[in-house]
Structure 1
Amino acid sequence: MIIKVKENPETQEFLDFINEALSKRAFVIIVACCSIEYRGRATSRLGSGDRTILIKADGSFLVHQDHNLEPVNWQPPNCKFTTKIEDDKVHILGIRRNPNESLEIQINKSYLASYHIGEDSKTLKLAGYEEDMREMIFKNPELIENGFRVTSREYSVSSGFIDIMGKDKTGNLVVIELKSRRAGVNAVKQLKRYFDDFSDHKKFVRGILVAPSITEDALELLEEFQMEFIALEPPKDIIGSKNLTLDFFKAY
């Protein structure tokens, strides 16, 4: 890995350093007092403050404050960058053409500038999400109940996409909404919207919310709608989980 660092660089030194990093398509990290202006689908301005600026090799452009997870300003990959000195301040401009928008950062004081060039060709493998639960139930439909069979995944209806459609052992239609985390009222309301898409056949339709756990108010609403809850943990193993836990609670 190649790493270069500058502490408290002067204006021209800082500009030369950033241009060098951009020419090498390096991962750039800047800690600076800066002002920000965005122009595009909307406009925004952020006054001077101490922030962390990231420029990635893929052209991503992000500015973070010292709180909150999300960047306060950002541009997605494939930005084109230009730099300049104006009024003894370095300006970094990230531009996109489709849509036409730009993010301009004025560096009022640079505390730290660094860049590195590393090797990382691995793809992140995820587990424990709704998609994993969907696949798990597809392969093990008895996790819902004995006799259940899956007829469709991500079934399109007017209100969205139903995670799993199936039939129980008596032939009733089963609408299943999956949540990989604790389910709340919004999850119940989402399931109800899907359930209502089959209002002409409600007598033969069951709605089931599947999640690791559920809030008390969500469970009360589920009971009110006469729908069901199954507590099911998503698989945590990247390769596949064989030790599955299942608790069943019928909410009516």
Structure 2
Amino acid sequence: MRLVIARCSVDYSGRLDAHLPAATRVLMVKADGSVLVHSDGGSYKPLNWMSPPCSLRVAQPSAEQAADGVSEVWTVSAAKSDDQLVVTLYDVAHDLSEDLGVDPGLVKDGVEAHLQKLLAEQVTLLGDGHVLVRREFPTAIGPVDLMVRAPGAPALVVEIGDGADDPAEAPPGGSHRHVAVEIKRRATIDAVEQLTRYLELLNRDPLLAPVRGVLAAQSIAPQARTLATDRGIDCLLLDYDAMRGIDDPDSRLF
């Protein structure tokens, strides 16, 4: 990557024309060929940029430009269009080049896979006596995040490719035998619809039925909560920090 801090003006031509008057800015030239023009504000968003594939040509100023204090002229041309970015540099304060190497990418914390693992280990958050059957429980339309056995229900043995054990009697009183849990970071109506499809399929299986649905998420949209309640699906808010043991909800003042 090359970083240049310089007083410069920028002219863009292409889908529209745009002009940035002369001011001190940061110019970034990345290894992928992209060129970005930043000011000291506007968060991460550049004032103007050219995405790869593009080419950068650096030219010395004409005599007239040199008389006006121009030191270099950058012309950035897009490979697949007529778009062009012309950066006219005046006073260059810093010019640094550094090989950053291969970036390992962003490692996200608190994604659905992490929530699934934690809830599988703390399945009693669904209620006392609940026992995990398995994660990624297979169905014909995709895996359910968690399949959990409700208190008092007979054990279910699942052998991939060979079905399950013989049917057992349903729990007395019509109580739910199993719980299907769909886990999201933020649950929307789409998550309710997804879990509804799973429940319709799972409740056809005499080894599993009756199956209760639980939508577990760090946040649940009001519309999703309303629809879930209407369909008999329970909602469970997940406190990621508390589940990791780095926050004790009982010790909070508020």
Q: TM-score interval w.r.t. the shorter chain?
A: 0.5 to 0.7
Q: How does 1:28-177 map to 2 (within 5 A)?
A: 32-35=10-13, 46-49=15-18, 55-57=29-31, 59=32, 61=34, 82-84=55-57, 90-93=75-78, 102=80, 105-110=83-88, 116-117=97-98, 125-169=107-151, 170-171=153-154, 172-177=177-182
Matched, 1:190 2:197: no
Matched, 1:214 2:192: no
Question: CA, structure 1 residues 162+105, in 2 after alignment: closer, same or farther (shift >3 Å)?
Answer: farther
Q: Which runs of 5+ in 2 are unaligned?
A: 21-25, 59-72, 155-176
1:235 aligned counterpart, secondary structure: helix
1:194 aligned counterpart, secondary structure: helix
Q: Give the total of aligned pairs.
A: 200
2:144 aligned counterpart, secondary structure: strand
The answer on whether the counterparts of 2:228 and 2:234 sit within 8 Å (CA) in structure 1 is yes
Aligned-pair Cα RMSD in Å: 4.6
Question: CA, structure 1 residues 68+152, in 2 after alignment: closer, same or farther (shift >3 Å)?
Answer: farther
Q: Which runs of 5+ in 1 are unaligned?
A: 10-31, 37-45, 95-101, 247-252
Greater relative contact order (Cα 8 A, min sep 6): structure 1 or 2?
1
* Alpha-carbon separation, structure 2, partners of 1:205 and 1:64: 56
* Alpha-carbon separation, structure 1, partners of 2:37 and 2:200: 43
The answer on whether the counterparts of 1:128 and 1:235 sit within 8 Å (CA) in structure 2 is no
Distance apart, 1:83 and its partner CA: 3.5
TM-score (normalizing by structure 1): 0.57
The answer on whether the counterparts of 2:4 and 2:28 sit within 8 Å (CA) in structure 1 is no
* Alpha-carbon separation, structure 1, partners of 2:137 and 2:35: 36
1:200 aligned counterpart, secondary structure: coil
* Alpha-carbon separation, structure 1, partners of 2:44 and 2:143: 29
**Structure 2 counterpart of 1:180, from 169, 181, 185:** 185
Larger radius of gyration: 2
Look up the equivalent residue of 1:186 and give its one-letter code: D
The answer on whether the counterparts of 2:34 and 2:54 sit within 8 Å (CA) in structure 1 is no
Question: What percentage of residue pairs aligned between the two structures are identical?
Answer: 19
The structure that is strand-richer by fraction is: 1
